[in-house]
Amino acid sequence: MPIVTMPQLGESVTEGTVLRWLKQPGDPVALDEPLCEIETEKVNVELPSPFEGVMGRQFVAQGETVPVGAPLCEIVSSGARPGDVPVPEAPPALAPTASPSRRPASTQAVASSPAPRTDGDRRHRYTPAVLRLARLHGIDLEQIRGTGLGGRVTRKDVEAYLARAQVEAPTKGPAAPLAETAERGAPVAPAPYEVVPLSPTRRTIAERLARSAQEVPQAWTLVEVDVTELLKLRDRTAARLGRHLTLLPFVAQALCRALREHPNLNARFEAGELRRFRDVNLGIAVAAPSGLVVPVLHRAQELSIDGLARALDDLVDRARAGRLTLADVQGGTITLNNTGAFGSVASRPILNAPEVAIVTFERVVRRPVVVADDAIAIRAMANVCLTFDHRALDGHEAGAFLATLRQFIEAPTEA
C-alpha cells in the first residue's frame, strides 16, 4: 500500500505543516491530483499525488507539523482495504546533530592525504616530536618500547618514559622553531619575546589545570585556625624523636582524621561517577625545578606522625631530585598544599582533578585575637583554605569538614 510522505521542499527545509487536506478518506485520487496543501518555511504548495487509487488513512491532522519524510497518508489501490498494511515509522527527526545527508553516509572514503603505509617494522621510525624530546632529555630511544603503529615509539611513549625516568628538562632549550614574524609576510624584525620551550611536565600541568578550571565548577572557602597548641606539640614531638619536624605531618594527620568523619571529601569525580575512597592517598604539592609536581602518599591514614614525617620528607626529596616513580604520582584522593611556605596567608588552589577537594595550609602569623571572656591574646594563627568540586559537595559539607579539621588542629592529641 503506497504511503505518501512529507517531501523535502527546498534546500535547508527540515519540516512541513499540512495546512489543509484536499482529499478525504474514501475519495478517489488520480495521479498528480492535489492531496493537500503544505506549508514550509520557504514555500506553500499543493502536494500532487504520486499514486493513483483511493485516499486511505491520514496520519497527520490539518495544522500539524511533521518532519520531512514522515508519513502523511496512504493511497489504497482499488480492491484493497485501508488499514491492511502497518504504517512505517517516521524517520528520526533531524536533530541539530544529525548527519547532513539523508541517506546513510557512504562507506567510501573521501580523498585525504594517503594513509600511512604500515609496512612492517616501524620501531626505529622516529618523528620530529620524538627526536626533539629525546634530544632535550638525553634519552636513548632504544630503551623505549613503542606502542604506535608497527611498534613505533610515539610521543606519548616518550612522555610516559620520562615520567618514569624522571629526567629533568634542561634550563636552556633550543630556540622554538616558529619564525619570529608577528604577521605572515611581514619583514622579519627581531621579536619582542623569546619562546621558552615547555617541558613535558609543564605541558602536562598546563593541560590538566586548564581542563580542571574549565570543566569543574569550583567553590572556595577558608577558616582561621589557632595553631598555638599545635606548635607546642610539634616542639615536644621533635624533641622526643630527636629530629627536626615541620607542621606538615601534623596537618596531614589532622586531615586524615577529619576525612574519616567527612569521607565525601576523600573522593574523585571521574567517568561520570563520584568515587569515595577508603584510603586517604594524600597528594602533596611540591615545587620541583621542572614545575609543580604532586607526589602521593598512599594510605596516609595508617601512618603515625613519625611515619608521616619520614614519608613526606622522602617524597619531597625525590620530587625535587626528579626521582619519582609512576606510582608516586598516581591514585591521589585529596591534595594538600603547604602554601604558607611561600608566605601566603590565603590562596585559592585549583582542584587537582578528578579529586573533589584540595586543601592549603597557609602561613603561621602571630596575631592578636579575641579569646575567652573577650580578652585579647597573641596567638599563632594560620588559615586553612579549601577548594571543592561543587558538583560533588555543597558548602554545608565543606564547611563542616573544615570545622572538624580545625578542631583536630587546634586540639591535637599526642601523636
Partner 1 sequence: MATRERTRKARSREQRHDYLLSEAQLEEMYYYMLLARRLSERMLILNRQGRAPFVIAGAGQEAAQVGAAMALERGTDFLAPYYRDLAMNLVFGMTAREAMLNVLGKRDDPNSYGRQMPAHWSSPSRRIVTQSSVVATQLVHAVGIALGARLRGEQLVVMACCGEGATSRGDFHEALNFAAIHRLPVIFFVENNGYAISERTEKEMPVPHVADRARAYDMQAAVVDGMDCVAVYQTVKPAVDQARRGGGPWLIEAKCYRLWAHSSEDDDSRYRPRKELEEWAKKDPITVFRERVLADGIFPREDLEEIEAHVQEEVRDAVEWALAQPDPAPEDALTHVYKER
Partner 2 sequence: MAEVSVLEAVRLALDEALARDERTFILGEDVEAGGVFRATEGLAAKYPGRVIDTPLAESSIVGIAIGAAHYGMRPIAEIQFADFIHAAFDQLCSEASRWCYRTRGDAWLPLVVRTPWGGGVHGGQHHSQSIEAYYAHMPGLKVVAPSFPADYRSLLLAAVEDPNPVIFLEHKRTYRLIRQELNGAPAETRIGRARIARRGGDLALYAYGLMLHECLAAAEELAAEGIECTVVDLLSLRPLDTETVLEAAKATGKVLIVHEDTLTGGFGAEIAALIAEHAFEYLDAPVRRLCGPDIPPIPYHPAMEAFFMPDRQKIAAAARDLAAY
Q: Which residues bind partner 2 (CB under 8 A)?
A: 8, 11-14, 41-42, 94, 96-106, 108-113, 115-116, 127-132, 148-149, 152, 154-156, 177-179, 183-185, 203, 207, 210-211, 214
Distance of closest approach, residue 103 Cβ to partner 1, in angstroms: 40
Return the SS3 of 73. Answer: strand
Distance of closest approach, residue 188 Cβ to partner 1, in angstroms: 11
Of 61 and 186, CB closest to partner 1: 186
Instruction: Give one DSSP letter per residue of 120-185, joined into a string.
Output: S--TT---HHHHHHHHHHT--GGGS---SGGG---HHHHHHHHHHHTPPPPSSPPPPSS---SSTT
187 belongs to the binding site for partner 1 (CB under 8 A) = yes
Task: Give the one entry of partner 1, partner 2, none that residue 97 binds, where binding means its C-beta sits below a cut-off of 5 to 8 angstroms depending on kind.
Answer: partner 2
Query: Interface residues for partner 1 in 9-28 (CB under 8 A)?
Result: none
Cα–Cα distances in angstroms (integers) from residue 228 to residues 148, 232, 235, 266, 380, in the given order? 57, 7, 11, 27, 5
* N-to-C CA span, the chain: 86
Among 313, 314, 394, 396, the active-site one is: 394
Per DSSP bridges, beta strands 267-270 and 65-67 are unpaired
186 belongs to the binding site for partner 1 (CB under 8 A) = yes
How many C-beta atoms lie closer than 10 Å to residue 276's C-beta? 14
Task: Give the one entry of partner 1, partner 2, none that residue 140 binds, where binding means its C-beta sits below a cut-off of 5 to 8 angstroms depending on kind.
Answer: none
Of 178 and 186, CB closest to partner 1: 186
Of 203 and 236, CB closest to partner 2: 203
**What is the C-alpha to C-alpha distance for residues 315 and 324, in angstroms, rounded to an integer?**
8
Query: Interface residues for partner 1 in 385-414 (CB under 8 A)?
Result: none
Those residues with Cβ within 8 angstroms of residue 366's Cβ, 6 or more apart along the chain or in another chain: 378, 379, 380, 381
Distance of closest approach, residue 190 Cβ to partner 1, in angstroms: 15
Has 390 been annotated as catalytic?
yes
Among 137, 306, 313, 390, the active-site one is: 390
CA count, 13 A, side-chain hemisphere, 69: 11
**Phi and psi of 53, rounded to 5°?**
155, -140
Of 152 and 234, CB closest to partner 2: 152
Distance of closest approach, residue 186 Cβ to partner 1, in angstroms: 7
Distance of closest approach, residue 173 Cβ to partner 2, in angstroms: 11
Task: Give the one entry of partner 1, partner 2, none that residue 186 binds, where binding means its C-beta sits below a cut-off of 5 to 8 angstroms depending on kind.
Answer: partner 1
Q: Tell me if 62 sits within 8 A of 45, measured CB to CB.
A: no
Question: Residue 193 has which C-alpha cell?
Answer: 619575546
Count of residues interacting with partner 1 (CB under 8 A): 3
How many C-beta atoms lie closer than 10 Å to residue 182's C-beta? 10
**What is the C-alpha to C-alpha distance for residues 262 and 258, in angstroms, rounded to an integer?**
6
Each residue 269-308 as x (binds partner 1 by CB under 8 A) or -, in order, gives: ----------------------------------------
Distance of closest approach, residue 113 Cβ to partner 1, in angstroms: 31
How many C-beta atoms lie closer than 10 Å to residue 251's C-beta? 25
Of 178 and 375, CB closest to partner 2: 178
79 belongs to the binding site for partner 1 (CB under 8 A) = no
Instruction: Give one DSSP letter per residue of 203-236, joined into a string.
Output: HHHHHHHHHHHHHS-EEEEEEEEE-HHHHHHHHH
Has 124 been annotated as catalytic?
no
Alpha-carbon dihedral 335, 341, 343, 346, rounded to 10 degrees:
20
Distance of closest approach, residue 195 Cβ to partner 1, in angstroms: 24
185 belongs to the binding site for partner 1 (CB under 8 A) = yes
Q: Which residues bind partner 1 (CB under 8 A)?
A: 185-187
Which residues form the catalytic set? 390, 394
